[in-house]
Structure 1
């Protein structure tokens, strides 16, 4: 069946998300490796993605680990530096699809407050036809409920959706539901896929 809509993940598809790179630049790689091995920062962030309050969650985690308190608090105070920069070619693809009249949706693991913060820095996040943000929905990828929610609210059949995400587990979950999928490993390859699907011309996909 013909693809009728494109679904974008956000982190590492439209915006670079690399806390490790941020901490390497601030405290050095060796200390960052020690911190990430001793503290479950990604687990903390997943709780935020599931809808827990951003500041309260980070500060409570920091308070529980006083030897890393200052560094963990940076996750809140300097979060936008971890979520940058925008991936410009991907943003161009999003806008090119919109110009062609192709519906575009966001399906992303993102906290309520962090998504609001990202919107202030990246206006293109408001350009989707609809956004399915885990913190608002209180459900995360790769669990099937969030994919089902998108199908139900858009009214689109799974096989008419093309989904791109940088995580293989999220892609596999969508594929299991019958979605078209593209593992994002760079905007150029995704652009080629959009051309292959007949959604954009080569010129539009540049």
Structure 2
């Protein structure tokens, strides 16, 4: 059986829920307009660092009507779109005492920095690999090859957990182990019952 010496987690729908309707209600933004904005090529460029924070707020105003002049209000509230999965959060802090635990996420500077300011994401993990900093995104297998070098992990000793099947397929093509997170309950069962914590790592 493989020995897992490194655990790598996605952010959205793994460590935090993604609840844009909750945020939009607080911010007074039409949720359909915001989700349409999220699905634009601009947003993909923003997540890979091709567009800056300064580019983001005029584009947000264009697509949703939220005034760019109120950007500070937006940034103060955006963390409410990403409530922590508290049981997973607690387990991360337990597991990191035994094996390295990393974060690998397609995200952007506005979302990540404001979640980080609220809950301390960076310090919760041994290291983070973020699409907007690395200018690479999942599910491209090259992203995982690059992430292995940046994080200093061996793919065959590394398990990546993500909610999207295409990201799991990409990571397996790169030689990693992968587990698709469909809900928090099943994920916690997998980490606590299916995987066994032994000296030097996790085993099936």
TM-score range, shorter chain: 0.7 to 0.9
Normalized per residue, the structure richer in strand is 2
Aligned residue for 2:197, secondary structure, equals coil
Q: Deviations over 1:60-109 (max 9, x none)?
A: 324544xx3128977944422222x110011112111112x211111011
Inter-partner Cα distance in structure 2 for 1:63 and 1:25: 16
Inter-partner Cα distance in structure 2 for 1:136 and 1:175: 23
Q: Is the 8 A contact 1:53 1:113 kept in 2?
A: no
Q: Which runs of 5+ in 2 are unaligned?
A: 199-204
Q: Which runs of 5+ in 1 are unaligned?
A: 201-206
Aligned to 1:143: 140
Query: Residues 175-194 of structure 1 correspond to what in structure 2 (within 5 A)?
Result: 175-194=172-191
Inter-partner Cα distance in structure 1 for 2:121 and 2:115: 10
Inter-partner Cα distance in structure 2 for 1:111 and 1:26: 19
Q: Is the 8 A contact 2:78 2:115 kept in 1?
A: no
Q: Given the two structures, how large is their TM-score scaled by the length of structure 1?
A: 0.79
Inter-partner Cα distance in structure 2 for 1:32 and 1:71: 15
Query: May I ask how many residue pairs the two structures share in their alignment?
Result: 191
146-155 vs 86-95, greater mean Cα deviation = 146-155
Query: Residues 1-206 of structure 1 correspond to what in structure 2 (within 5 A)?
Result: 1-23=2-24, 32-33=31-32, 35=33, 39-43=36-40, 44-51=42-49, 52-54=51-53, 56-65=54-63, 68-70=64-66, 76-77=74-75, 78-83=77-82, 85-99=83-97, 101-195=98-192, 196-199=194-197
- Call closer, same or farther: CA 1:154–1:82 in 2, change over 3 Å: closer
List, as ranges, runs of 4+ consecutive aligned residues in structure 1 with deviation greater than 4 Å: 24-28, 71-77
Q: Is the 8 A contact 2:103 2:125 kept in 1?
A: yes
CA RMSD of aligned residues (A): 2.7
